[in-house]
A and B are shown apart, each in its own frame.
Chain A
Amino acid sequence: MIKRILSRLGVLAVVLFGVTVLTFFYTSLSPVDAAQALAVRRYTRPTEDQVTQVRQELGLDRPLAEQYTGWISKAVRGDFGNSYNTGKPIIDELSASMIPTLKLAAMALLFTALLSIPLGVLSAARKGGLAGKCIYLFGIVCMSVPNYWIGFMLMIVFAVNIPLFAIMGAESLKDFILPSLAVAIFTSASNIRVFRSSLLDGYNSDFVMYARSRGISERKIAVMVSRYALPPLVTLLGQSFGFTIAGSAMIEFVFSIPGVGSMLVTALSSRDTVTVNACVLVIAVIFVAVNFLAEVINVILNPKEQTKERAYDR
């Protein structure tokens, strides 16, 4: 088990290095000229010389590889440089805006688990029945709308018509209930299906038949089956945490949460490429870390190496 986790760690290191390169590569692909944009902001109508001067100042005239090594050697120490927009250190703004987004993602994760697990079990137990059909319909509807629209609908019902919640703000945990519920409803729609089919898969497999024939109690069998069925769901839950952070801009806009998603969108539209780089890198690192954590949980749940076929399924 330890050996498996260690080998995953090796892969993780390679992936993390690749992520930094990709992040840098993606933003430098963009035709947006940060120097030009900053010069315009500074001098309104910059001359050719002024643009060149700004470019030298930002270090954007150096070759790409050199820019990358300069950026990454600082970034690993948490120094992302200063924002082109505000001139302040990016790390301060980033850590401040990370908090509401992490709260949102954590609460959404909790709600997603609370929705997907019972509904998945119910739809597996009552397949073909009314409950199963209702959950099927719920799933189709909720995976077909953007999560921020679910947010709007929750807001219209629970903040406008029945004023239970405040319409904006990110002060208390209560303010995060509606946005994270919106995210969770969207995410769990597809999770329920996956969990249901792996549960059914578990109940149909040979080890259950063997356990039944040996007279092992149904409760113990249920534990065995859920251990067998959980890994795909754990993987999905881990992924959805990162997806929530990456796609948080919309839901943050709806509920006026000053999170990292809105910071990223502001930086993108004002061509603040260093801030974009920093945001993307941090989100990607969180995504990778949470996925790794999910893998470790799966290894603990199922210490034995899975068979080839099941490994492909994931």
Chain B
Amino acid sequence: MIGKILRKPQALIGIAMMLTVFAVMIFAPAFAPNDPGKVDIMQKFAEPCKQYPLGTDDMGRCITSRLICGARVSMSIALPTIGAIAVISVLLAAVCSYIGGIVDKLFVIVSNIFMALPPFLVAMTLVGLFESKALSIVISIVVAMWVWNAQVVRTYVLREKSKPYIITCRMSGCSELRIILRHIIPNIFPHLLVLYSTGLSGVIIMISSYAFLGLGLETGTAEWGAMLVNANKLIFSHPELIVYPGLCILFAAAGFNLFGEALRDICDPREG
């Protein structure tokens, strides 16, 4: 499996991009040349120079530093979100498969109801649920997305469960719990990685949309979506202020998408 990943150029590029994003997230303050929040009206719209590699915005804030710190803001919300979604969806799918019967049927009905609301709608309604703004974003996205992911994981589990080797396991006396934990979950793990890797890029985009709409984060936070909405009125004079944050979102999200899609090709060679 790892050998196959290493032989796939898309996967390698994806991994390199992911690692870059993680590195920027962890070492953001060290990479940033200036304080991202420092307003200096005298320096507004400064040309790119040594001190401000990409220039400054309409409030004289260093664009480079804001972009770099934006990675930290986005990723520090996106990672716990996707983590929580992963735990909930795998757990639910496993429980459905373990108990089966009426519980599984009930889950299908309930999830159909939850899936009748588009995720972004739910997330928007729920934002502002808690005192902590970051926590509300995490919880609202988790509430909006869990059911879509749980549904997919349940499908994977059921498909895996219908394979002949599971019958062999059962004949050799494996308990149902052991089949799920030791056979099904490890076997669908690459599929899960695809799901959550591409899911993470979706969450990154969703977070930027929140900031763009001014829901959720504190005003003035160095976040890509917030930078975009701020640059909206400058589309004629300084369109580059709109281009940069979008490219950052693209870089961060594309890394996870590239890796996820490459992994999907490896898991399902038939479709490649």
Residues from chain A with Cβ under 8 Å of B249 in the complex: 144-146, 149
Q: In the bound complex, how far is the Cα of B105 from the Cα of A14, in angstroms?
A: 14
**Is the C-beta of B52 less than 8 angstroms from some C-beta in chain A?**
no
Given A18-B116, A152-B235, A152-B242: A26 in contact with B125 (beta carbons within 8 A): yes
Q: Is the CB of A140 within 8 A of B261?
A: yes
8 A Cβ contacts from A3-19 to B:
11, 14-16, 18-19
**Is the C-beta of A250 less than 8 angstroms from some C-beta in chain B?**
yes
**Is the C-beta of B209 less than 8 angstroms from some C-beta in chain A?**
yes
Minimum distance in angstroms from B131 CB to a CB of chain A: 9
Minimum distance in angstroms from B9 CB to a CB of chain A: 11
Residues from chain A with Cβ under 8 Å of B212 in the complex: 146, 148, 250, 253
A148, A193, A200, A280: which contacts B125 (Cβ < 8 A)? A280
Residues from chain A with Cβ under 8 Å of B125 in the complex: 26-27, 30, 268, 276, 280
Q: Mark A276-305, 1 if CB is under 8 A from B, else 0.
A: 100010011001100100000000000000
**Is the C-beta of B120 less than 8 angstroms from some C-beta in chain A?**
yes
Count A-side interface residues using an 8 Å CB cutoff: 58
Q: Mark B141-164, 1 if CB is under 8 A from A, else 0.
A: 000000000000001001100100
Given A22-B117, A145-B253, A160-B239: A249 in contact with B205 (beta carbons within 8 A): no
Given A145-B249, A146-B212, A265-B213: A254 in contact with B232 (beta carbons within 8 A): yes
Which residue on chain A has the smallest CB distance to residue B202? A143
Which residue on chain A has the smallest CB distance to residue B205? A146
Residues from chain B with Cβ under 8 Å of A309 in the complex: 159, 162
Residues from chain B with Cβ under 8 Å of A312 in the complex: 155, 158-159
Residues from chain B with Cβ under 8 Å of A243 in the complex: 118, 120
A-B CB contacts (within 8 Å), total count? 152
Which residue on chain A has the smallest CB distance to residue B251? A144
A197, A265, A284: which contacts B271 (Cβ < 8 A)? A197
Residues from chain B with Cβ under 8 Å of A242 in the complex: 118
Given A29-B129, A280-B121, A312-B155: A160 in contact with B113 (beta carbons within 8 A): no
Minimum distance in angstroms from A252 CB to a CB of chain B: 10
Q: Mark B240-270, 1 if CB is under 8 A from A, else 0.
A: 0011011001100110011001000000101
Given A22-B113, A201-B271, A284-B116: A143 in contact with B121 (beta carbons within 8 A): no
Q: In the bound complex, how far is the Cα of B126 from the Cα of A254, in angstroms?
A: 23
Residues from chain B with Cβ under 8 Å of A160 in the complex: 235-236, 239
Q: Is the CB of B257 within 8 A of A149?
A: no
Residues from chain A with Cβ under 8 Å of B185 in the complex: none
Q: Mark B78-121, 1 if CB is under 8 A from A, else 0.
A: 00000000000000000000000000000001101110111111
**Is the C-beta of B214 less than 8 angstroms from some C-beta in chain A?**
yes
Q: In the bound complex, how far is the Cα of B187 from the Cα of A60, in angstroms?
A: 51
Minimum distance in angstroms from B18 CB to a CB of chain A: 12
**Is the C-beta of A125 less than 8 angstroms from some C-beta in chain B?**
no
Q: In the bound complex, how far is the Cα of B236 from the Cα of A291, in angstroms?
A: 40
Residues from chain A with Cβ under 8 Å of B15 in the complex: none
Q: Is the CB of B246 within 8 A of A18?
A: no
Given A309-B159, A312-B159: A200 in contact with B271 (beta carbons within 8 A): yes
Residues from chain A with Cβ under 8 Å of B215 in the complex: 265, 268-269
Given A144-B257, A146-B249: A15 in contact with B116 (beta carbons within 8 A): yes
**Is the C-beta of A183 less than 8 angstroms from some C-beta in chain B?**
no
Q: Is the CB of B254 within 8 A of A156?
A: no
Residues from chain B with Cβ under 8 Å of A69 in the complex: none
Q: Is the CB of A26 within 8 A of B232?
A: no
Residues from chain B with Cβ under 8 Å of A200 in the complex: 270-271
Q: Mark A207-235, 1 if CB is under 8 A from B, else 0.
A: 00000000000000000000000000000
**Is the C-beta of A1 less than 8 angstroms from some C-beta in chain B?**
no
Residues from chain B with Cβ under 8 Å of A109 in the complex: none
Cross-chain pairs A/B with CB under 8 angstroms, 7 sampled: A14-B109, A26-B122, A146-B249, A152-B228, A201-B271, A243-B118, A280-B121
**Ordered nearest first, which 9 A-B pairs have the shortest CB separation?**
A18-B113, A246-B118, A144-B253, A144-B254, A149-B246, A246-B121, A197-B271, A247-B120, A288-B116
> Known pairs A15-B113, A167-B235. 10 more at Cβ < 8 A?
A14-B113, A145-B246, A200-B270, A247-B118, A249-B124, A250-B209, A265-B124, A269-B215, A276-B125, A283-B118
